[in-house]
Structure 1
């Protein structure tokens, strides 16, 4: 059913494009036809004016007067020609400019609709998986008498899945707040080193598929929103988990270099193509097709990360992690070290 819905959407785009091109081509052809008719009409007017002038030539007393009349006649003909050529050129520029604006607006809207459709499909997948796992675990605990160790494992697994749900809901709510410019962070003196260390420990407890390493310089403090910073780190690490092979390393570092504060999250995945790096921070954008990609996600993580970084006065960039992988680098320029 998913493939059918995606396939059905493609002819709609092609149909809209075909109709748009037909209407634009028809309008331009009609403009040129209008110019041809005006040119023919101008030639007919010039012919009859010249004929009428020839009939009156015997009434003119001097040849010089006849020459002046002919010059006036040719001047009026040139002015008529320049007039309809100028009007046609202006109309053509207006038509092409309007067509370009309409084209961009229509395709932007269609692309947004496709991204929203992908988002709904991704969120549905993201919601169903943890809900199904949590439901199965709880039903197992209710129906069967298990030993304490197995019960603890099932409860821990259920908590991990509910944490996934909680983060997904936080991403959706925060994206809505950013969209409507209602996000108001709570800035407070924060031990950034400790906050990142605690968040990484929670991620290690929850993520068993990758080796999460930390290289955090102690005693780094800044005015920040603890919830936002934690969410930013979670999104970056989970993005690395999605696209890096299992068993590889994910390195998180926080260091001061000269007057700057640098935070890096690096993985050992396949990297991000250069042409995609300017798009990955867009809302709902995900590389590939929603029906074929293997990695989960809603397309909001990197969008929210960029917003949070900008909200905290930093910049984020994507770099290659040599010899292989991707490195997200967050920089706070002119940062002064604040021991906490």
Structure 2
């Protein structure tokens, strides 16, 4: 019994139990309908027998026919009422069943995503910590030349930056969940933010990052949040692109809109998943066979940050292959030097 309850709580067997109960409720409704129709027919039979005792149809045929018409009309009204109420109850049952079914599965799916998130976070936290610890212990225990020491220190900085970004994503997701995330908007040079951010990212990645940034573009925004958007989008492109492939970052004006694009050379995203990828904890592919790292928070936070800046983000197919994440900002200013 305990094992059955556990299976139901984890979603296994819940469909069978749900549809069994739904079928039972509908069957009960039909059975009560049959009983009501039988009762209505018995009422009609009793009233007709009573009529034949009260009125002689050979003596007063008109009165008899009028009373018989009334009895049949009452039966038709009861039939109409039973069908109407039954159809209404059936509609309410189906409507409620759909809502409950969707809510239950949404909750089960969210629970599974949270469990996957915890497993992913555990791995994402332990990996950079273990790598940084190994690098530092190697430097301490072995006499290495200066070049090798610098290489190990660079790798350690890379892992700590990765850990720092993960912590920022988790803390920010918690703040968004509790409606406590506040933007500190001020006039910022987005062109400068992107160029400076890419310089910091480039030395940590094996991919070739090409930037085509229009200069001196200013918006009202939060510098830290915009840096996080850049970091999340570039890291996402790196994860889903072949090693040493090209990643393109563009910032330009088009049709009085500011466009910010991050383009990768990966396998692309299916059309039915292009909206889902911005959901919290959602990750493309099967959780059991997925090879890419991640927590499912990066794109969720990116969309929330972009929305709070008054912009929109969408994933579109790149004509040369891969995916283009495009952000559109309606309000910006170009300052000429």
Which position in structure 2 is the counterpart of 1:200? 198
Which position in structure 1 is the counterpart of 2:295? 298
Which position in structure 2 is the counterpart of 1:23? 21
Question: Hey, what's the Cα distance between the residues in 2 that align with 1:84 and 1:11?
Answer: 38
Which position in structure 1 is the counterpart of 2:3? none
Question: Hey, what's the Cα distance between the residues in 1 that align with 2:7 and 2:263?
Answer: 37
TM-score of the aligned structures, taking structure 2 as reference length: 0.94
Matched, 1:235 2:232: yes
Secondary structure at the aligned position of 1:253 is classed as strand
Question: Hey, what's the Cα distance between the residues in 2 that align with 1:109 and 1:214?
Answer: 42
**How far 1:259 sits from its partner (Å)?**
1.6
Unaligned runs of 5+ in 1: 1-7
Inter-CA distance 311–334: structure 2 relative to 1 (3 Å threshold): closer
Matched, 1:48 2:46: yes
Name segments (4+ residues, structure 1) moved above 4 Å. 8-12
Asked if the contact 1:35–1:84 (Cα under 8 Å) also holds between the matched residues in 2, the reply is: yes
Asked if the contact 1:259–1:335 (Cα under 8 Å) also holds between the matched residues in 2, the reply is: no
CA distances 1:259-310 after superposition (whole Å, capped 9, x unpaired): 2111110011111111110111011000112231111001011111111111
Matched, 1:102 2:100: yes
Asked if the contact 1:192–1:221 (Cα under 8 Å) also holds between the matched residues in 2, the reply is: yes
Secondary structure at the aligned position of 1:246 is classed as coil
Which position in structure 2 is the counterpart of 1:4? none
Count of residues in correspondence between the two structures: 332
Inter-CA distance 311–12: structure 2 relative to 1 (3 Å threshold): closer
Secondary structure at the aligned position of 2:83 is classed as helix
Asked if the contact 1:253–1:265 (Cα under 8 Å) also holds between the matched residues in 2, the reply is: yes
Which position in structure 1 is the counterpart of 2:307? 310
Matched, 1:273 2:281: no
Secondary structure at the aligned position of 1:206 is classed as coil
Secondary structure at the aligned position of 2:290 is classed as coil
Matched, 1:93 2:91: yes
Asked if the contact 1:222–1:338 (Cα under 8 Å) also holds between the matched residues in 2, the reply is: no
Counterparts in 2 of 1:1-340, with a 5 A limit?
Answer: 12-58=10-56, 62-207=60-205, 209-333=206-330, 335-339=332-336
Question: Hey, what's the Cα distance between the residues in 2 that align with 1:203 and 1:111?
Answer: 34
Secondary structure at the aligned position of 2:259 is classed as strand
- Kindly report the root-mean-square deviation, in angstroms, between the aligned alpha carbons of the 2 structures: 1.8
Question: Hey, what's the Cα distance between the residues in 1 that align with 2:298 and 2:313?
Answer: 13
**How far 1:58 sits from its partner (Å)?**
2.9
TM-score of the aligned structures, taking structure 1 as reference length: 0.93
Question: Hey, what's the Cα distance between the residues in 1 that align with 2:178 and 2:253?
Answer: 34
Unaligned runs of 5+ in 2: 1-5
